[in-house]
Amino acid sequence: MPDESYKNIARDHAQVGMQVGKHVGDVHVHKPAPENLAEQIEAVQADLRALRKSRDLDEQIYLTAQGDLEEAAWLARMGDDKRSQLIVVLQRVWLVLSGVADIGSKVANILTAAQIFR
């Protein structure tokens, strides 16, 4: 058997769910439903409130992120007409929360989903 090597490259907030050298058969990729973006944003808001309540998050970061998340949830419910604005707001939220472990990665996932459905 020849010596084969493989290189996986994940960028732009991509998540590698499975790494394989060689796969035989069908591979199905499912995009998150765009109508779930508002629900996902609201879940991040709940996580943010819990983090603030436990005093593990600075008040100013909390207020900034929470305001932007409210705007993002509203834009997500408005649909494709507001998609570009939604992406800008989510980018702003990600910049604020990127250093906050789980929440930063959740925002990155939502941002990626919003960009896919542009």
How many domains, in total, are found in the chain?
1
Q: Does residue 94 form part of some domain?
A: yes
Residue 41 has pLDDT above 90, yes or no: yes
Residue 113 has pLDDT above 90, yes or no: no
Lowest model confidence (mean pLDDT) among 20-24, 43-47, 63-67, 98-102: 20-24
Q: Does residue 13 form part of some domain?
A: no
What average pLDDT does the segment 23-47 reach?
75
Q: Does residue 81 form part of some domain?
A: yes
How many other C-beta atoms can be found within 10 angstroms of the C-beta atom of residue 82? 15
Q: Does residue 72 form part of some domain?
A: yes
Alpha-carbon separation of residue 101 from 18, 56, 75, 97, 106 (angstroms): 22, 11, 25, 8, 9
Q: Does residue 107 form part of some domain?
A: yes
Q: Which domain holds residue 103?
A: 34-116
Q: Does residue 12 form part of some domain?
A: no
